[in-house]
Amino acid sequence: MLRLAVAVALLAATAACETQVAGHGTPAAGAPPPATPTASGTATPGGTGSSGPVRLRVQVYGSLGMRQANLFQRYRQEHPNVSIEFTETTEVFSYWPKVLTQLASGNVADVYAVEATHIGEVVHDRADNWTDLSQFGARDQAGDYPDSIWRAASTPAGAVYGLGYDAGPMAICYRRDLLARAGLPTDRIQLARAWRSWPAYLDMARRYAGGGRSFFADSAQGLFRAMLGGAGAQFYDASGKPGYATNPAVKRAWDAAAAAIRSGVVGRTAQFRVEWMRGIEAGRYATMPCPYWMLGLIKAQSPQPRAGTWDVAAPPGPADWGGGYLAVPRASEHAREAYDLISWLTAAPQQAAVVAAQPSLFPARISAATAVPQANRHPARASQSEPGRPVRRRQRPPRGATLASCLPPSGSMWAEHRIASSARDIARGLWPAMSVGTVGVRRG
């Protein structure tokens, strides 16, 4: 019965987790000449496109900050011949089926947001429905993305089916009061060093004493997802064949999550269920592997004064979970203008405006991640291998800078922009290592 309970508890994780596969395909024949940059930061593929009025339809899921940052009004000012019809749905789970229905009917928008969990489906299974953006010069943008994000939306032959919009770099959110009550460290630097590997994180979990009132981690599903999020190939190998049965990374993550259930150090409720949400509200979880976008959810579920006890530390290993892309369907009558728009929307100035309006988003572009206002306050970034040392990037941080100097005081009360800035700094420190993450994604 115990073995059955473990399998049932982890089943949701394997069904929902992102999987990796190298891309296949060829660029479209008869591609136009390479794009040339324009003054506004967009690309004009081999010409200026339509000189008459153009109406672009844009559909996205959730809240991606475009409307909040007034991006479409700004784009219209720079491109007076372009009008934009924008649809933002809060029905996230029904969004993708509706996109597939529109693709099948031919009655499509010109730009769609595509979750990271679906970009592998776009590239490998439905490429005939989507525009290969390389014909407009998209390959010139590859150097501004982490390798993992770029490869997920492209093929070895050079086809590109989406531009990364946001990402989900992982950290560990934790309750200072619960760790202190168990006699464990509460300082970010000390914790990052103490759980510098997943075995070390699990060792701390075994030492945590919640008195039956709380668990060290929120769920086996979250643990499994976080441990696997930094692996290369996951459920599929480079040829696209299922490889989960022989992949040691999958086995390690599965065994660790199963052991965590048996030892009682994780909650028994699947993530995002009502009971799991109530667990956050009731203070039942001392730590949570949390992608960047989960900060807003934790804040919403943490009533005052309990919300002020949350903090963020670097994770045991670099990983990412979530994020999304902007893509153009092949049936669009304005594919060139749509590409210009998504190039502009993902550029650094626009992404900085988005982050200011929607702090729970983390930009996918490297230039955008280094341009957001909160991050610019802290020039130093800490490496995952040595949390107390500055990471060497294209611009070297000041001598002696540490992770602590990148973050607001640990004892500060909860404020969304401050906690978001903390996680952003941590995530930017992990950015050089994120190439070991997602290669592609496909539903398992």
Give per-residue pLDDT as tens, 235-249. Answer: 666 665 677 777 888
* CATH 3.40.50.300 at 35-167+322-369, yes or no: no
Mean pLDDT of 80-108: 93
pLDDT at 415 over 50: no
pLDDT at 256 over 60: yes
pLDDT at 17 over 90: no
DSSP letter (8 states) at residue 244: T
Q: Which residues contact 4 (CB under 8 A, 6 or more apart)?
A: none
Intrachain domains 2-16+168-320+413-431 and 35-167+322-369 with the same fold: yes
pLDDT at 271 over 60: yes
Residue whose entry in the numeric block shows the structure tokens 């660790």 = 256
Q: What angle do CA 354, 38, 27 make, to 5 degrees?
A: 90
SS (H, E, C) 68-136: CCCHHHHHHHHCCCEEEEEEEECCHHHHHHHHHHHHHHCCCCCEEEEEHHHHHHHHHHCHHHECCHHHH
Residue 427: predicted pLDDT: 55
Q: What pLDDT band is residue 33 in, cutting at 50, 70 and 90?
A: very low
Lowest-confidence segment of 38-42, 57-61, 257-261, 399-403 by average pLDDT: 399-403
Residue 183: predicted pLDDT: 95
pLDDT digits (tens, 9 = 90+) for 150-166: 988 999 999 999 999 99
Please name the amino acid found at residue 176.
R
Max mean pLDDT among 356-360, 388-392, 417-421 falls in 356-360
Q: What pLDDT band is residue 302 in, cutting at 50, 70 and 90?
A: confident
What percentage of residues in the chain have a pLDDT greater than 70?
Answer: 68
Residue 265: predicted pLDDT: 95
Please name the amino acid found at residue 18.
E
Residue 381: predicted pLDDT: 26
List 324's β-bridge partners, or say none: 115, 166
Mean pLDDT of 255-259: 93
Residue 386: predicted pLDDT: 28
* CATH 3.40.190.10 at 2-16+168-320+413-431, yes or no: yes
Choice between 16 and 247, residue whose per-residue pLDDT is larger: 247
Q: What pLDDT band is residue 43 in, cutting at 50, 70 and 90?
A: very low
pLDDT digits (tens, 9 = 90+) for 187-219: 988 999 999 999 999 999 999 987 789 999 999
pLDDT at 372 over 80: no
Q: What pLDDT band is residue 177 in, cutting at 50, 70 and 90?
A: very high
pTM over 0.85: no
pLDDT at 231 over 90: no
Sign of the C-alpha dihedral, residues 243, 246, 249, 250?
positive
- Distance between CA atoms of 27 and 132, rounded to whole angstroms? 7
- E strand or H helix that includes residue 204: helix 198-207
Residue 409: predicted pLDDT: 32
Mean pLDDT of 135-160: 92
Choice between 4 and 355, residue whose per-residue pLDDT is larger: 355
Domain extents for the chain?
Answer: 2-16+168-320+413-431, 35-167+322-369
Residue 13: predicted pLDDT: 38
